[in-house]
Amino acid sequence: MNSQYDLIIVGGGMVGTALACALGDSRYRIALIEAGDLAQMPDTPVVAVQDVDLRVSALNMASQAFLEKIGAWQLVPAARLQAYQQMKVWDGEGTGSIQFDAAEMLEPHLGHIVENRVTSAALLQRVQQLSNVTLYTGQSMTGMTRVPGAEGEEEWLVKLSSGEHLHAGLVVAADGALSQVRTLVGFPVREWAYGHHALVCTVQVSAGHQNTCWQRFMPSGPLAFLPVPNSQMCSIVWSCPQDMAEELTALADDEFCRRLQGAIEHQLGEITAVGPRVAIPLRQRHAIQYQQDSVVLVGDAAHTIHPLAGQGVNLGLMDAECLARVLLENAAKGLAVNNPLALRRYARERMPQNLTMMAGMEGFKRLFESDALPVRWLRNTGMKKVAGLGFLKQHIMQEAMGLQRAAVLRKKGA
Ligand SMILES: Cc1cc2nc3c(=O)[nH]c(=O)nc-3n(C[C@H](O)[C@H](O)[C@H](O)COP(=O)(O)OP(=O)(O)OC[C@H]3O[C@@H](n4cnc5c(N)ncnc54)[C@H](O)[C@@H]3O)c2cc1C
């Protein structure tokens, strides 16, 4: 069986699905291929640590504005959204600390913590309402080749694990950090291992999360407590060397809670329960090009960064927003979906933004992992300086919250 599309999106994670939604009701015929099953929307409030997805994301204001614009944010149940008003960051080895407060920016919150499966389920519900998107779930892309198309131009033939063959002028790789599309097409990539694993789990805390994100930096790596939609629970991301992550994962629950309580310096009271623990290896990767041969990379397929500032999917969603905007402009001008000038425009707009964030995160990580006295002095005085310089602190908050982009996206007709 053959099916003809304008574009095929490989990967129905948050970024690929958001792109399909952003191109909804356009003239493009779109195939969205996802190897996993449809994400199910949880319909109960969070009452136990096991109720929370192991993977959560801090979504900034720009991501929220984009998800609103494409009709997905409205489908997230209020019982599964957790706004945070404050962020407390401190140096575990010194005296430096800094606090970010939504009130300083005259905003109701700094962002929201949302389980990844909840964002995905909302996006998939939205996709199912779109007549120009065909969903292939539970099917993997297994191969791609260039073949002559109907109008004499070359196009992509994409093979699915079901045996089906799909054709399109453009393929978008939204298939995550280990992107098969990126490998098959031969995109050059720069990558290096951090030597870190991120241990993730949900915990119950006696002092409550106080609608605050907490982050302590240690030479072994940062430890973050993120508030989830139950005032007594947090999702944690503990970045540390692999052997330490393995040791922490293997500990008995009560011993793990005791270690975690000490690591966060008892800031959230006692840790009284812990859910399943998983350690995820962390690597930094960046594709040297975002487009070649009528294939475009978005999200983690284009860039993966350390989760310490919670920016990975925020960058990915802005990739989707930018690519959709460029492709819709293309359609309005009657140009081909794979018009190389348009695809280059996407790469030119997104690459500097993504690289700037990646470089910032790398610098941050190195600054905090050093135990050398001058570096400790630098980060302690640095944190105090930033805290004291209102304009610099506001600039950092503006960038992390994606405030400028959110304002553009919320403008009527943008
Ligand atoms: C511990 C941790 C914490 C994080 N916290 C945050 C945070 O707070 N804020 C933030 O912004 N980011 C965060 N991130 C980053 C964020 O999780 C990623 O950036 C985001 O999930 C990337 O989304 P994606 O859709 O690009 O890729 P993915 O989520 O990896 O989705 C790719 C999809 O493609 C599918 N797929 C793969 N291969 C194929 C194939 N051959 N055929 C069909 N389908 C295929 C997969 O099944 C998957 O569903 C964190 C990351 C980690 C590791």
Quick check: 55 pLDDT over 70? yes
Distance 209 CA to ligand 1 centre (A): 26
If one compares 172 and 150, the residue with the highest pLDDT of the two is 172
For residue 139, count other CB atoms closer than 10 A to its CB.
Answer: 16
Would you say residue 355 has pLDDT above 70?
A: yes
Q: What is the pLDDT of residue 195?
A: 81
pLDDT at position 404:
84
pLDDT for 166 beyond 90 = yes
Mean pLDDT of 117-121: 97
pLDDT of residue 380: 65
> Residue 203 has what pLDDT?
98
- Cβ of 313 closer than 6 Å to ligand 1, yes or no, is yes
Of residues 218 and 319, which shows the higher confidence score? 319
* Mean of pLDDT values over 213-236: 94
Please report the sign of the dihedral spanned by the C-alpha atoms of residue 295, residue 296, residue 300, residue 304. Answer: positive
Asked whether residue 383 carries a pLDDT value surpassing 70, the answer given is no
Among 36-45, 284-293, 364-373, 389-398, the range of highest mean pLDDT: 284-293
Ligand 1 centre distance from Cα of residue 176 (Å): 5
At residue 1, does pLDDT exceed 70?
no
How many CB atoms lie under 10 A from the CB of residue 42?
Answer: 17
383 C-beta neighbours (distance < 10 Å), count: 19
C-alpha to C-alpha distance for 303 and 316, rounded to whole angstroms: 8
Is the CB of 140 inside a 6 Å radius of any atom of ligand 1?
yes
Q: How much of the chain exceeds pLDDT 70, in percent?
A: 90
Mutation probe of ligand 1 site: the residue of 17, 32, 33, 57 with most atoms within 8 A of C-beta: 57
Assess whether the C-beta atom of 57 lies below 6 angstroms from ligand 1. yes
> What's residue 399's pLDDT?
76
Per DSSP, the residues of 108-175 read S-SEEEEEHHHHHHHHHHHHTT-TTEEEEET--EEEEEEEE-TTSSEEEEEEETTS-EEEESEEEE-S
Is pLDDT above 80 for 388?
no
Query: What's the confidence (pLDDT) of residue 20?
Result: 98
Q: What pLDDT was estimated at residue 8?
A: 98
Q: Is the CB of 180 under 6 A from ligand 1?
A: yes
Amino acid making up residue 251: L
* CA 400 to centroid of ligand 1, rounded, Å: 19
C-alpha distances out from residue 37 to 14, 136, 211, 275, 341, Å: 14, 9, 32, 24, 35
Predicted local confidence at residue 391, as pLDDT: 65
Q: Is the CB of 111 under 6 A from ligand 1?
A: no
Residue in 261, 258, 15, 289 with CA at minimum distance from that of residue 127: 15
Beta strands in 206-344 (DSSP E): 212-218, 221-227, 233-241, 271-274, 278-287, 291-292, 295-297, 303-304
Q: What pLDDT is attached to residue 384? A: 64
Residue of 313, 314, 405 best suited for mutating to test ligand 1, as the one with most atoms within 8 Å of CB: 313
Residue 259 has pLDDT above 60, yes or no: yes
Residue 214 has pLDDT above 60, yes or no: yes
- State if residue 16 touches ligand 1 by the CB under 6 angstroms criterion: yes
For the chain, the average pLDDT equals 90
Q: Per-residue pLDDT for 271 more than 70?
A: yes
CATH class of 2-191+283-410: alpha beta
Q: What is the mean pLDDT of residues 127-151?
A: 94
pLDDT for 268: 96
- How does residue 412 score in pLDDT terms, banded at 50, 70 and 90? low
Whether the CB of 15 sits within 6 Å of ligand 1:
yes
| Mean predicted confidence (pLDDT) in 266-285 | 94
Rg of the chain over CA atoms, in angstroms?
22
Q: What is the pLDDT of residue 35?
A: 97
* Atom number of ligand 1 nearest to Cα 14: 25
Report the predicted TM-score, pTM, of the whole model to 2 decimal places: 0.93
